[in-house]
Amino acid sequence: MADYVTILGSAFFLAFGICSIIAGIFAAYFGSGKSRGIGGALIIVGIIFIGLLYYLMTGYEATKTAWNLQLIYDAVIVIVGAGIGALVALGIFLAAIMKS
């Protein structure tokens, strides 16, 4: 049971942090006024979540905790694979829309 919680926690922190940073970059770049401030806040929140994940993985009593660096490597691979799949699907959707 602890392994499932560890995998869920690792994937959540990593995915939330990365997606928050990416959304913040888009909001700060394309937004105006308040949207830029919100984008900056999202970037900071994403960095905090990734920093928290790094701290949980390597920080306090790293040998006694259930966190495992291999889970982070696996989560990164899963997220990259999901991102590539989503981009391919989006590209096919946009191509179909543009052709019709």
Domain with 15, as residue range(s), is 2-99
Residues 39/25, Cβ–Cβ less than 8 Å: yes
- Give pLDDT, residue 55: 78
Separation of alpha carbons 91 and 22, rounded Å: 19
Q: How many domains does the structure of the chain reveal? A: 1
| pLDDT given for residue 35 in this prediction | 84
- pLDDT (tens place) for every residue of the chain, 100 residues total: 556 667 677 777 888 888 888 888 888 888 888 888 888 988 999 899 888 877 777 765 555 555 667 777 777 788 788 878 778 877 777 777 787 5
Tokens of 56: 């949980």
Q: What's the pTM?
A: 0.62
What's the confidence (pLDDT) of residue 3? 64
